[in-house]
Structure formats: structure tokens, C-alpha cells
Amino acid sequence: MRIAVCEDCVEDTLLLKHYLRGHDVSIYSDTCSLLDDIDNKKIQFDLYLLDIFMEDSMSGIELAQELRKIQEEAVICFISSSSDFYREAYDLYAVQYLLKPVAEADVRKLLDKVSKSLVRKREPKLSFQSRGQTGSIPYGKIRYISSREHTISIFTTDGTVWEYKGRLSELAVQVCGDTFMRCHQSFIVNMYHVENMSGTGLMVAGDWIPVSRRYYIGVKKRYLEILFEEVD
């Protein structure tokens, strides 16, 4: 994870750098240097840790306001010795507010939270149009896709079934690869949701999905590969 720390206290900076070991961390002792790198060098960070009380002309709150203008979806965490700025942090959609002295456990929770959010944002999504509206579903939430009479049905992990008009062959070109595989003329399956493969079928969330002879060898090979991935 690429992290920017804007903190003018040397002791606090060293502590944060220790907590953030293993990540790509850039340290800034003043707000202008950080803004200069973002604006002129076009550098963006996955997470900004901003001290609210800075000795130079701009506070951490004001810095965050500038960051929002440049990078609307910037992930910001404030660090402060005072809890007086919770409201301002809330208005700026800060992901966290850490009070000094900052505990390593709190930093670890923050990193885990941001890391999971980044994974969700980077996960590919299937886009479609249903009843005049455009929708998108992350690949991980799709169990399998079926087709009948040119109607595509997307079965998701929360039990919702989305339908739209389309051809499964065209969809297969878009999504099939390591995650999704065509297993039948009428079915595409997310192989990471397959619970069991037996005979000529796949068990997915209690539903039995047929595997035709045309796709059997490739589907079985991928099923076994995923089993070994889980063992590792």
C-alpha cells in the first residue's frame, strides 16, 4: 500500500513509520511538500495520514480540503492530540480519526480496513442493462450465469437474480478466464463458488449446474487447480 504521512513531530513520525513497516511510506514534515508532489509530480497515495496540528500555514483539516479538490476519493485518516475536530473529519469523509499517542493495534485495524476497501474497488465488475437501468456486480458476488431464450440471468451471493436480454456467447468473451468458465451451452460458472464437481455436474450454492462434454476437461482442470490453491 502506498501511504503518505504528513506529520511535523519527529518522534510521532518515527513511531508511525515503524507501525507502517512493509508498506511504501512517504514522509512529509510540511503540507506544501505533499501538495507539491501530488500536484506537480502527479503522485497519488492509497492512504493519507494527516496530523491536524501543523506548524506551517496550513492545518491538516485545510490540507484534507485541498486533497479532496485534487483527488476526490482520497482515503484520509486524521491524527491528533485532541478530539475537538471529529465534526470536521466527518464532513471530510475521513476513514478514521486516531488520537495520540497512536496505538499500533489501531493502525493495524486501519490498514486492514483500507486494504479490504482497495481490493473491492479494484475487483472487476460485470456491467449490464436491466429494464432501462445500468447496473454492475463485482465478479466475486456472482455465483453463476444462465441463459434461456436470449434472457441472461445472473445469480448472486445475496440471492438476487438479475435478468437482461443478451447472448451468453457474447458475455463469455467478456468474462471467461481464470474466474469464470463456460461449462454448458446455457451456463457460465464462477469457479471459486463451486462446492463440488461430480460426474457431469457442478454444485454451486445448492444448485446443480450441468457440464457438457465439450467443456468437461477444461472445467475439471480448473476445478482441481482451485482446490490446490485453497490447500496452499
DSSP string, the chain: -EEEEE---HHHHHHHHHHTTTSEEEEESSHHHHHHHHHHS----SEEEEES--SSSS-HHHHHHHHHHH-TT--EEEEES-STTHHHHHHTT-SEEEESSPPHHHHHHHHHHHHHHHHHHHS-EEEEEETTEEEEEEGGGEEEEEEETTEEEEEETTS-EEEEE--HHHHHHHHBTTTEEEEETTEEEEGGGEEEEETTEEEETTEEEE--TTTHHHHHHHHHHHHHHHH-
Mean pLDDT of the chain: 90
Report the predicted TM-score, pTM, of the whole model to 2 decimal places: 0.57
Output the CA torsion sign for 64, 89, 107, 82.
positive
pLDDT at 209 over 60: yes
Instruction: Tell me the β-bridge partners of 154.
Output: 145, 162
Grade residue 55 by pLDDT with cuts at 50, 70 and 90: confident
- Range with the lowest mean pLDDT among 26-30, 41-45, 159-163, 181-185? 41-45
Grade residue 230 by pLDDT with cuts at 50, 70 and 90: low
Where is pLDDT greater, at 119 or 227? 227
Instruction: Report the pLDDT averaged over residues 124-152.
Output: 87
pLDDT at 212 over 90: yes
- Integer Cα distance of 144 and 139 in angstroms: 10
Grade residue 231 by pLDDT with cuts at 50, 70 and 90: very low
Q: Which of 17, 84, 94, 86 is nearest to 63 (CA)?
A: 94
Instruction: Report the pLDDT averaged over residues 18-44.
Output: 91
Q: Measure CA 9 to chain center.
A: 32
Distances (CA, A) of 93 to 5, 87, 159: 18, 10, 31
Grade residue 121 by pLDDT with cuts at 50, 70 and 90: confident
- Range with the lowest mean pLDDT among 9-23, 48-62, 113-127? 113-127
Instruction: Report the pLDDT averaged over residues 74-97.
Output: 92
Q: What angle do the packed helices 104-122 and 10-19 form, to 10 degrees?
A: 60
Percent of the chain at pLDDT > 90 equals 71
Residue 120 is predicted with a pLDDT of: 67
pLDDT at 123 over 80: no
pLDDT at 221 over 90: yes
